[in-house]
Chains A and B, each alone.
Chain A
Amino acid sequence: MTQLTIIAHLVAKPDKIEETRKFLLGLVHPTRPEPGCVEYHLHQDNDNPTEFTFYENWTNRGEWDKHMELPHLSEFAKKAPELFAKDPHIRLMTMISDR
């Protein structure tokens, strides 16, 4: 099965930047040891600190689907309206350059 790359773009409400940062960083530790997680990195935009991006690689689509059903991700969905200015934008990609 093909490896899956996820690029997820999240925009925090201007008064929730620190809370969002802490919450998103809290997802990194439980996610990295999950089956199929190749890498899972969180970034903050240099010019627009409300903008956060996850860069993720999964061994296949099925493993990412399972990840999205886990309790820490449901918690994420619950907190989303409080923290984010708009709906997360998630792109499903395929890495076409060799590792």
Chain B
Amino acid sequence: MEKSAVKFPKWKYPTNGGPGRVVDTAEEEKALGPGWVDKPPGASDDRQLTLIAHLVAKPDKIAETAQFLLSLVDATRPEDGCVEYHLHQGNEDPTVFIFYESWTTRRHWDLHMGQPLVQAIAGRADELLAVTPRIELMTMISKRP
């Protein structure tokens, strides 16, 4: 795989307050036009946010990836708006790592994503990860017990 194949996903948000989306290339970002910005306009979404982030380590970087991702846990949990932040590893495929995170609002997660430590993932993605991380933004629809 070419080194440039792995990138941390970049998000763009429409100025009309609609849902954000991932852009994979600079061309794609440009094609969106002027109605899209890097940060969501205002606090358009006050719901609690749950997200699942899938990361796949290179087979020879499993231990290093685990160690690096675990270092994010202690730093992230005390952040403003972090409800829970858990890291998991696949039982059958140990290259698969999943973060399960809940944030008070979408805005809190956006601020978290701007933290230097999270930016450090982007910096090490080429070295550690086999594919681009996939992030699913969700709403918990079952009531918390």
Contacts and interface: CB of A to CB of B under 8 A. Distances in A.
Contacts of B137: 45-47
Contacts of B138: 43-46, 53
Interface of A: 4-5, 7, 21, 25, 28, 32, 39-47, 51, 53, 55, 91-99
Contact of B142 (A28, A51, A93): A28
Given A41-B140, A45-B137, A97-B87, A7 B98 contact: yes
Contacts of B87: 95-97
A42 B140 contact: yes
Given A32-B145, A43-B50, A47-B21, A96 B70 contact: yes
B13 interface: no
Contact of A43 (B19, B66, B140): B140
6 contacts: A28-B142, A43-B138, A46-B138, A51-B136, A92-B91, A98-B73
* Chain B at the A interface: SS class: strand
Sorted from nearest, which 5 A-B pairs have the closest CB atoms?
Answer: A93-B88, A43-B138, A42-B142, A97-B87, A97-B73
Contact of B92 (A42, A92, A97): A92
Given A47-B19, A53-B52, A91-B96, A5 B136 contact: no
Q: How large is the interface on B (under 10, 10 to 19, 20 to 34, 35 or more residues)?
A: 20 to 34
A73 B136 CA distance: 25
Q: Which of B73, B139, B141, B143 has the most CB of A within 10 A?
A: B141
B8 interface: no
B88 A43 contact: no
Given A93-B88, A97-B86, 7 more contacts: A39-B145, A47-B19, A53-B138, A91-B90, A92-B91, A96-B89, A97-B70
Contact of B100 (A7, A21, A44, A46): A7
B19 A46 contact: yes
A99 B100 CA distance: 12
B56 to A, nearest CB: 12
Q: Which of A7, A92, A93 has the most CB of B within 10 A?
A: A93
